[in-house]
Structure 1
Amino acid sequence: MKLIRPFIYYREILNYVSMLIISLLIGLHMWHYTRLLHKKSPVCCFLLRLVNYMKPTYQTLIGFIGTIALCSCTVGPDFVSPSPIIKQTYTSKSTSQFGSQHIELNKKTSLTWWKEFHSATLNGLMEQGIKRNYSLTAMRESLAQAKELVSASQGQLWPQAGVNAGIGRQQYGPATFGPVNLRIEPFSYYQIGPNASYTLDVFGGIRRTIEKRKALALYQQHELDAAFLTLTGNIATTSLTIATIKARIDVLKDIIQDDEKNLQLIQKSFTVGSSSRSDVLSAQSQLTNDETLLPSLYQQLHVAQNELNVLLGTIPTHSHSLIFHLKDFTLPKKLPLELPSELAHKRPDILAAEASLHAASADIGIATAHLYPNITLSATLLQEGVIPGAPLSISPNAWSLLGNLTTPIFSGGTLRAQRRASIHAYQSAFAQYQEIVLKAFYQVSNLLYALKHDAEELALQKKAMLTAKESLRIARLSFTAGVVGVLEVLDAERLYAQSRLGYVNAQAQRYQDTIQLYLALGGGLHP
């Protein structure tokens, strides 16, 4: 794996010392040549006079800051997007025709992929859900939060300024001035003035922190895309589920009507003495059994309607209006399919895993920067004064200019252990990334096979339904002619009912797998 270049702590120390020495030598040579050329160059003359005008302390401070600036670097690995190793085909054989559907290779998935089903009702629900869904709104706010955290971390690169202000009353004790018998009356005082501080990001710890925040913001962006894809997919699948349940209810109602006709037919036959009481009871039992299936289907319909209302962000008071029919959907004839190598740049879950990997890489740089010194410059200017009546010998102005350097010397192995832990976290994130890519590849592969089998099953279910329908017609005619008994009619009717429900289920499954293919390809979020 080439995503992390190796880091050796001692080698980096040697590199830093070498850079420091080289910078000092360059500074000395530049100073020498500036003194030689100042008579010919106005710029050199101005710079030389400016430096000579400064006090030696300021000259040293400016030289120190300049040297540090020349030596600044960003430790840690520079992130490189991984290149997942994926096959060039999703299936072992070329699969491009699924009955009336066929695959168009390298066709881009549309962002509004649901419009391929040509359902005006579904299009309207999608617009409503995208605007009002609470989960999607929460993800948008999380993304806004992540972007603000990026801005907050970028502020660390700039000097920090503030104002100090205070007021108090003080009295000195006799022991303050030693043996001198000096007494100062209690006095009130005030102080006010600006302060500033600046952290020199010599080793890039702050920049790596900003890099991490940007990666996390990108992660939230892809999570929002994933939530958008999940929402639109759930709206489509739930709408299709409602249509499927409604189709099952309609089929079951037709079956119940046929049961009632059979019962009437058998009762007439019983009246004329052609059928027995047992035949009548069998027909009544068949009718009752089919009627018991309706309540559970209505319950499923009610639950699906409420789930859709939640997705739409509405109060479930008008569930009766959320009724769909399978005929409202048109099965897309042309399905998009891109190369497996492009899948990693399309799916939001893969891109989110890559952003998480980037954040883990930045964590290595942050942990590495903690091994090196931290330099902070601070300055304070105070205007001080006392309430009238106090001694006038107190200075009205005070200032301070400090340079603070902290460097780890001994931490019991904590810092190095934290760095090693960040490397292990990166390796873990990389493994998770590879697994997500692998699962995405096989998900698309499974759906391609599923669509192929859906087309085959739908054709067989249609054939079985037509055969069962013809068998039922013949059984009824034979029963009327007295050739067969009532049991043959009931068996034929039961087979026809099962074949009709099987056809509805096969039709719905084909729609569902088509929706899942659009989702598995990324839903056109990243063309």
Structure 2
Amino acid sequence: AGRGAYYPSVTAGLSASREQDPPGALAPVPSNNAFLYNLFTPQVSVSYVPDVFGLNRRTVESLKAQEQSVRFQAIAARITLSSNVVAAAVQQASLRAQVAATRELVGINSHMVEILKYQLDKGYAGRLDLAAQEAQLAQVEAALPPLLTQLAQQDHLLAVLAGRFPGEAPTEKFDLASLHLPQQLPLSLPSALVAQRPDVRQAEANMHAASAQVGVAIANRLPNISLTANAGSTALAINQLFKSGTGFWSLGADLAAPVFQGGSLRHQERAARAAYVEASEQYRSTVLTAFQNVADTLAALQHDAEGLQAAATAADAAKLTLDLSQRQYKDGYAGYLSLLGAEQGYQQARIALVQAQASRYADTAALFQALGGGWWHDAGNGPADAAPAPPRLSDSDHARTNRDSDEK
């Protein structure tokens, strides 16, 4: 809309009036000396304001940068929503697996308590062993309700993120085993990827808009030139319009410059420059935060890989222990309590493995978000649509800031 200031403004109008002048009036009357008459005046007016000092150009530049800022804000919101959905779905699958393993642990410990009670009655076990196992069962049972609460909260969160009510959670379920991590994740990344983050691009567009507003404030302190032209016809009857002798036209030029405004224009320019400095510092802070996010996620992924490897090793060892205990129990070389203990250790290792996998998946999604989410691959969001780099203030612009004369 701001580009319309580049072109002339053309308006057309038609006025019709009935007038009566008092006899003997000094005002001009029609050539027939009638004091009661009709007057019809169609005319066309053209006005144009040359953009001599860049007021229109910098205004349009600011509007375009503001449009880019809102656009990147919408892209950032979409990427954040996608990342939140992924993180919530991963956490939901993790909690579901932990709940299943915890319930199996409750069953194992309950069975062990029953066996110890039987052995206590027969004199094969002491009361201390039974009390220790009952305490273990109570601890496992106490861990189940918080997991169920977190699982319900994740279901509600997924429903809300999908635009539904909390009770309308998606019915689709998936396990962590159905997901596949990238084979290799980089330990370092080029800074150009961080520069494509929508929040960085939004901060850049805001700085661009602030820079353009400085130019607008400067142009408001300079003279303004207006060119006007009018042409039309005036007649006492409609059928006489545009006949010879009824036409009129005028051309004019107007030059206006602020002489004294009590210093308001000067301080508006100073405020615009201060806003530009603020926007540039916000841009710098956003870039630093972006690099921090990428560094944090890369470090987390590296530690997640180590933790996942350790958890997988522990789960494999617990599974091997369980297999050997089952064979020994089958052959009569081990008691049933030893088998239940191996099963308990395996379930605990499963829970630790699930937590390590969920952490790895969540941090992978965080890295995707930290790198900008790949928004430039979407149709209509290519780099060609990106906002241009904000212009730097010239030395002459800085010089204008420091001048102390001509308060306006």
**Range into which the TM-score falls when normalised by the shorter chain:** 0.7 to 0.9
CA distance in 2, matches of 1:249, 1:307: 18
How far does residue 204 in structure 1 lie from its aligned partner after superposition? Answer: 1.0
The reply to whether residue 215 of structure 1 matches residue 77 of structure 2 is no
In structure 1, give the amino acid aligned to 2:74: L
Cα distance in structure 1, aligned partners of 2:194 and 2:297: 17
Equivalent residue, structure 2, for 1:254: 104
**Does 2:231 match 1:381?**
yes
Q: Deviations over 1:503-525 (max 9, x none)?
A: 32222111111121122122233
Residues 304, 169 of structure 1: CA spacing in aligned structure 2 closer, same or farther, 3 A cutoff? Answer: farther
1:350 equivalent in structure 2 = 200
Deviation at 1:288, TM superposition (A): 5.1
SS for the counterpart of 1:177 is: coil
Q: 1:514: which partner in 2?
A: 364
Q: Indicate which of 31, 55, 61 corresponds to 1:205.
A: 55
Single out whichever of 438-447 and 465-474 deviates more from structure 2.
Answer: 465-474
Structure 2 unaligned runs (5+)? 239-244, 378-408
1:157 deviation in Å? Answer: 0.4
**Residues 82-132 of structure 1, C-alpha deviation per residue, up to 9 Å, x if partnerless?**
xxxxxxxxxxxxxxxxxxxxxxxxxxxxxxxxxxxxxxxxxxxxxxxxxxx
Deviation track 1:270-322 (CA, whole Å, cap 9, x = no partner) reads 44243567765665565455345444433322332333233333455652613
What are the residue-to-residue correspondences of 1:144-293 with 2, within 5 Å?
152-173=1-22, 176-177=25-26, 185-275=35-125, 283=133, 286-287=136-137, 289-293=139-143
The 5 Å alignment of 1:102-501 reads 152-173=1-22, 176-177=25-26, 185-275=35-125, 283=133, 286-287=136-137, 289-314=139-164, 318-319=168-169, 321-336=171-186, 339-386=189-236, 396-463=246-313, 499-501=349-351
Aligned equivalents of 2:186 and 2:369: distance in 1? 11
370 and 175 in structure 1: CA distance in 2 versus 1, 3 angstrom threshold: farther
Following the alignment from structure 2 to structure 1, what is the Cα–Cα distance between the partners of residues 117 and 14?
103
- Aligned AA (2:17): G
Paired with 1:306 and 1:177, the residues of 2 have a C-alpha distance of 85
Cα 1:231–1:337 change in 2 (3 A) is farther
The residue identity in structure 2 corresponding to 1:191 is T
Letter in 1 for 2:266: R
Change (3 A) 1:372 1:248: same
Cα deviation, residue 331, structure 1:
1.7
C-alpha contact (below 8 Å) 2:221/2:266 kept by paired residues: yes
Per-residue displacement from partner, 1:123-180 (whole Å, max 9, x unpaired)?
xxxxxxxxxxxxxxxxxxxxxxxxxxxxx111110111122233333333457428x9
- SS of the aligned residue for 2:261 comes to coil
Q: 1:473 to 1:289 in 2, by over 3 A?
A: farther
Distance 1:335 1:475, change over 3 A: closer
- SS, match of residue 332 in structure 1: coil
Q: Distance in 1 between matches of 2:257 and 2:220?
A: 9
Output the amino acid matched with 1:368. Answer: I
Shift of 1:268: 2.2
CA–CA distance in structure 1, aligned partners of residues 231 and 374 of structure 2? 58
- State the alpha-carbon separation in 1 of the partners of residues 284 and 301 from structure 2: 26
Summarize the Cα distance change of 1:408–1:263 in structure 2 as closer, same or farther, 3 Å threshold.
same
SS of the residue aligned with 1:411?
coil
Measured in 1, the distance between the counterparts of 2:179 and 2:38 equals 84
Task: Give the secondary structure class of the aligned counterpart of 1:192.
Answer: strand
Q: Distance in 1 between matches of 2:189 and 2:344?
A: 46
For residue 403 of structure 2, what is the aligned residue in structure 1? none
Aligned in 2, Cα 1:490/1:172: closer, same or farther, shift over 3 Å?
farther
Contact 1:345 1:526 in 2 (8 A): no
Q: Distance in 1 between matches of 2:118 and 2:198?
A: 65
Question: CA RMSD for the aligned pairs?
Answer: 3.9
Does the CA contact (< 8 Å) of 2:120 and 2:127 recur in 1?
yes
Identity of aligned residues (%): 35
CA distance in 2, matches of 1:163, 1:281: 98
Q: Which stretch of the first structure deviates more once superposed, 322-331 or 375-384?
A: 375-384
Aligned to 1:503: 353
Q: What displacement does 1:369 show?
A: 0.9
Task: Give the Cα–Cα distance (whole angstroms) in 2 for the partners of residues 270 and 472 of structure 1.
Answer: 26
Give the TM-score taking structure 1 as reference length: 0.60
Q: In structure 1, what is the Cα distance between the partners aligned to 2:289 and 2:187?
A: 17
For the residue of structure 2 that corresponds to 1:240, the secondary structure is helix
Q: How far apart are residue 420 of structure 1 and its match?
A: 1.8
Per-residue CA deviations over 1:381-412 (Å, capped at 9, x if unaligned) read 33334469xxxxxx744433222221111222
Query: Cα distance, 1:497 vs. partner?
Result: 6.0
Distance 1:433-1:320 versus aligned 2 partners, 3 A rule = closer
Structure 1 residues not aligned, in runs of 5+: 1-151, 389-394
Partners in 1 of 2:126 and 2:189 — Cα distance?
67
Question: Mapping of 1:95-106 within 5 angstroms?
Answer: none
Shift of 1:343: 3.4
Counterpart CA distance in 2 for 1:337 and 1:452 is: 8
User: In structure 2, the residue corresponding to 1:379 is in which secondary structure?
Assistant: strand
Alignment check: 8 A CA contact 2:119 2:125 kept: yes
Instruction: Verify the 8 A CA contact 1:353 1:432 in the aligned structure 2.
Output: yes
Matched residue count: 365
Query: Shift in Å at residue 262 of structure 1?
Result: 1.5
Deviation at 1:350, TM superposition (A): 1.4
